[in-house]
Structure 1
Amino acid sequence: MSPLFLISQGDPSGIGPEIIAKTFAAGLAPDCLVMGDVAVMRRALRQCGLSLPVVQVSRVGETVPPNCLPVFQVPGIASGLADLALGKVDARAGAAAAACITAAVASIQAGEAAGLVTAPIHKEALHAAGVTFPGHTEMLQALAAQGGALPPVRMMLANEELRTVLVTIHCSLRRAIDLITQESVLQTLRISHQALQRFGIAKPRIAVAGLNPHAGEGGLFGDEEQLHIMPAIRQAQAEGIAASGPFAPDTVFMRARHTDAHPGEFDLVVAMTHDHGLIPVKYLGVEQGVNVTLGLPFVRTSPDHGTAFDIAGSGRADPASLQAAIRMARRLAVN
């Protein structure tokens, strides 16, 4: 039997249910099960003008008929989710999104599925529901904790041309600078190296982007490179990791970008802050971008976009990034 992958429904007021519906209708998720709400998924199919039977399963791993959209109705989520206004922040939607993620992780930890693909959630809706995590990454890290110890995790955004991993994620820029230490950079390099080896790259080439303009220009524009980033690179090199830099952040992504006409110099770029690392990948097109959480004891991928409240319910949402996330999850589960 093929491994089973769970898809958390995401915020029911966003485009998550629509892109899931389109993916199942296209026959591209035969090995997947939606953790969500049956009525929400039926509404999504109607919004997209699709005709596909929605089958409610009673347990994860249950055999389902072909050519359907199977849904595990997550216990405890609010009733009437399919009646919520689309494109609006709602605490009930945020609570339901969190419950779907929690249920999916519990099933994976019980050995019932091979990995998780998460549809987009809305951070304001989570906050309105009293969920304290700023995003998927931090929530999944907490759910994967063992004995109170959080596993070290990192966010990777990848497409066919570029991969980038972040040292810091969802925090203010002022706070991010304080979090850039020799240990945090070194830990990121170790996690990135191991992840690329799982991708089948035996000797990954990792470029490290600086924090400051021109990577500090020898200390003229800041000393974070000299105090924290360079020592981490040297330690990583001593451990056999092919890390190099720090390079100027305004040019290193061009050097790493891989196309048929221009093979990239590096397999991955480690960036210090959220926007430094994600803008280059997203500029290349969110339709093929995939968010991967590295360091978890299970596979987790996600589309490279948010809930898109402005088009929710219109049936216009592009499912390509979700489909790329499913393909990535399959690849990681095999390696």
Structure 2
Amino acid sequence: MARLYESRKRILVTGGAGFLGSHLIDRLIDQGHEVLCVDNLFTGTKRNVDHLHDEPRFEFMRHDVTQPLVVEVDEIYNLACPASPIHYQHDPVQTTKTSVHGAINMLGLAKRLKCKIFQASTSEVYGDPNVHPQPEEYWGNVNPIGPRSCYDEGKRCAETLFFDYHRQHALEIKVARIFNTYGPRMHHADGRVVSNFIVQALQGQDITIYGDGSQTRSFCFASDLIEGFLRLMATGTDVTGPVNLGNPGEFTMLELAETVIELTGSKSKLTFMDLPADDPKQRRPDISKAKELLDWTPTIELKEGLTNTIAYFERRLPEIMGR
């Protein structure tokens, strides 16, 4: 027990009541750390961390990262930002502020505390890529004035800030570029393809496919991604990132829809709608750096992860349907 206490850290997780943030907090608590969860609950929900209510090493603070935060911690994971198009396009100015002002505030806190800080960046920094799969060296193909720009360019600017703080103030940074991730605790109405398909299939509704369904994505299960977070954060000062974290398995939207129908036993049909503006046609990570630097590779196959996620949404279906 003494050894555990000596290694215990007080860790700040912004966006901690969100899908990924809550899974990260679970792992940090399991490792024996104290966790301060900061979230404004715009897309996060207390339901994701309710199971930690009686955990003495867990603390929740409702706070918006666009405002300064004065706390004392040993490490920071900055995950605060709506990540689905429906949510980040709802208030695009606030989305940009969350990425940019939030990064400035968290970097300023890390500078004062002289502590390590992690940035949850995104594969969206690559835009609609002309290079496939996407390595970290690719600078991207991003529309700076489109409807997705508030998120794409906000995250790109946050990366800029992280590396400038690293160069100018010798701040220890870790930057992960997250590719499509799924699993329990996803928001049922966030417009992401996995949650959309599962909820529609469970309700026997038509499954909505945008475009002709030939566009591809790579899907990483939440537990695999969080393992990547922890391994990146544990690296030495010589590793800053950015490091791609995602599953290199690539599936079309049609393949995903057919798999969800198979696993749910649904009689749902497919319906097709116009592709949204600037929606990437291909997305698959080159994870060579993650393998080399972190000894990390995903272990959960798509069908296994979907089965787990479907079971979560089945339990929540009466609540989702308002019964």
Shorter-chain TM-score: which interval? 0.3 to 0.5
Length-normalised TM-score, structure 1: 0.36
- Identify which of structures 1 and 2 has the higher relative contact order when contacts are C-alpha pairs closer than 8 Å and 6+ apart: 1
Length-normalised TM-score, structure 2: 0.37
Q: Based on CA coordinates, which of the two structures has the bigger radius of gyration?
A: 1
